[in-house]
Structure 1
Amino acid sequence: MRYVTLTDVFVHPIAQKYLKRSGVAHAIATAYHAYRLALKHGVNVDLATKAALLHDIGHYEWYSNGKWDYEQYKQNDIHAIKGAERAHKLLIRLGEHPQNAKEIALAILLHTDSYLPECELKRKPLQAIIKLADEADEEPGGRHHYRKIDDALALKKVKQLDELVGKQLEQERLDEII
């Protein structure tokens, strides 16, 4: 059962604020990668696409002398921690099932190793998919955060992905019955 759609999440003012900061085009592309990877690996497509859409909403803008400072970002960023918190709060506010909100937040928390001390981390499948989906859309120097997409096209793409997710969940429900 879906409690909250991707569109519900995407159009919320809080999501819009932070998605625009971290890159709407990147968030949507990552959500599509997550959908494909979730299908391939038998992971819940609803949770995967929501986590991927929201994975970077914790970004802080690191600027020096009015310009994006990628090195400062790489050295000091903890966006996954802040993003997990923001996503959890937003999803709960929208009416997402608390367990789903927690799983999505944990996937966001663990989508990058950039803030973790060196260690070997064993990710659950959803968490691994979000990391892979993000990496699939990365560009050198963080340029993937600055690709532009028209607002109307962004909403259209989110609605299309929402439809794919809904159809997949319905198919899985029917497969369980049969």
Structure 2
Amino acid sequence: MCRVLLKDLFTHPIAQKYLNRSGVDHAIKVAEYAVQLAVKHGVNPDLAAKAGLLHDIGHYEWYTNGEWDYEKYKKNDIHAIKGAERAHKLLIRLGEDRQYAKEIALAILLHTDSYLPENSMKKTTLQQIVRLADEMDEEPYGKHHYRKISKEEAMIKIDRLDHKIYQLLTKYRESV
């Protein structure tokens, strides 16, 4: 089976639509942090990177009078639910292993407790990694969603991450 590359995910029109809404720079940074954490904790870095990259594709833009309304977002947000479904559909469409697609979608679903009672369930290491990677890149009032990155720089970072994951997967598969 061929591995679905981050580049395949990143350049897909569905991902582009939602990544541009939720912040490309943030998505890439979370994917990078997720890979670092995956290596540290013995988790498949490919799954961590994909969940990190796609973790916010369920975001809805909450505005009041044309201005981002952070409080409305925090009160009404269910982006992890919508994002898990979108990511799962996209991954399956691109040919991802079905079990991997499910694990990635669940990590996206559980990367935030904004709609769940705090600490209400035990999470897998992958799910904890995606949450921590997201927290590592957060800025107050959601400003991390509005950092800018050029398309060229984003593609360079995605290509580097794909290359790094390819190298890491060899080591990961040998250790499992």
* TM-score interval (norm. to shorter): over 0.9
* Alignment CA distance shift 1:171-1:118 (3 Å): closer
Task: Verify the 8 A CA contact 2:80 2:109 in the aligned structure 1.
Answer: yes
Per the alignment, residue 5 of structure 1 pairs with 5
* Alignment CA distance shift 1:170-1:2 (3 Å): farther
* Alignment CA distance shift 1:119-1:161 (3 Å): closer
Letter in 1 for 2:80: A
How much does 1:119 deviate? Answer: 4.7
Given the alignment of the two structures, is residue 127 of structure 1 paired with residue 132 of structure 2, yes or no? no
Q: How many residues align?
A: 176
Per the alignment, residue 171 of structure 1 pairs with 171
Task: State the SS of the aligned residue for 1:129.
Answer: helix
- Unaligned stretches of 5+ residues in structure 2: none
Task: State the SS of the aligned residue for 1:43.
Answer: coil
TM-score w.r.t. structure 1 length? 0.95
- More deviation, 94-103/164-173: 164-173
Given the alignment of the two structures, is residue 155 of structure 1 paired with residue 151 of structure 2, yes or no? no
**Could you tell me the percent identity over the aligned residues?**
67
Q: C-alpha distance in 2, partners of 1:44/1:2?
A: 16
Kindly report which structure 2 residues correspond to 1:95-106, keeping only aligned pairs within 5 A, or say none.
95-106=95-106
Given the alignment of the two structures, is residue 138 of structure 1 paired with residue 138 of structure 2, yes or no? yes
- More deviation, 147-156/116-125: 116-125
Task: State the SS of the aligned residue for 1:113.
Answer: coil
How much does 1:2 deviate? Answer: 4.8
RMSD across aligned C-alpha pairs, in angstroms? 1.4
Moved >3 Å (runs of 4+):
none
Q: C-alpha distance in 1, partners of 2:175/2:61?
A: 45
How much does 1:120 deviate? Answer: 2.7
Per the alignment, residue 23 of structure 2 pairs with 23
Letter in 2 for 1:66: G
Given the alignment of the two structures, is residue 43 of structure 1 paired with residue 43 of structure 2, yes or no? yes
- Unaligned stretches of 5+ residues in structure 1: none
How much does 1:3 deviate? Answer: 2.5
Given the alignment of the two structures, is residue 14 of structure 1 paired with residue 20 of structure 2, yes or no? no
1:130-161 per-position Cα deviation (integer Å, ceiling 9, x unaligned): 00000000000000000000011001100100
Q: C-alpha distance in 2, partners of 1:37/1:118?
A: 22
Q: C-alpha distance in 1, partners of 2:38/2:59?
A: 25
Per the alignment, residue 56 of structure 1 pairs with 56
Q: C-alpha distance in 1, partners of 2:127/2:120?
A: 14
Task: State the SS of the aligned residue for 2:130.
Answer: helix
Q: C-alpha distance in 1, partners of 2:86/2:77?
A: 16
Task: State the SS of the aligned residue for 1:144.
Answer: helix
Task: State the SS of the aligned residue for 2:101.
Answer: helix
Letter in 2 for 1:58: G
Q: C-alpha distance in 2, partners of 1:47/1:118?
A: 25
